[in-house]
Structure 1
């Protein structure tokens, strides 16, 4: 039983999908049936079940879905890719310093 919500952004309709797995839940954003970015959100089944037992009032999966949409709208995935590339470039520059 997966969960799905839709939202519009930049003239396109996106779908946030939460899919149960053997180890918990995974959440991703799709556009036209294709993952919209490389980001996957997840919650382990142990954490999910403990939250219910501890009477945590929030639905963790719904919270992940909301976070995924919010991060996507903010462009967080692109920010992470840019930061990772900058870090890779910095590392490459440091390595170049030690080359003869």
Structure 2
């Protein structure tokens, strides 16, 4: 009995939600680094500005998590960028919470 060799062609693409989740995670990470720089070198006179910057960054982080989970639920799409976006936003979200926790 001869077995036929068949090749499977994969036409699936990554979800746009995964890319958006990664982008928001990167922006949130950049804002985190900026807030840490401002805090470490005492560039601003008040901690309120740093707290507001971190709150904006954590909102971007939650938006990235939401988009990552939406990208996870799409059928017939690759989900690797959504996985990376969720992981990045979870890790950065923990850092944001730690900064807000220790700042106030």
Instruction: Identify which of structures 1 and 2 has the higher relative contact order when contacts are C-alpha pairs closer than 8 Å and 6+ apart.
Output: 2
Name the structure with the higher helix share: 2
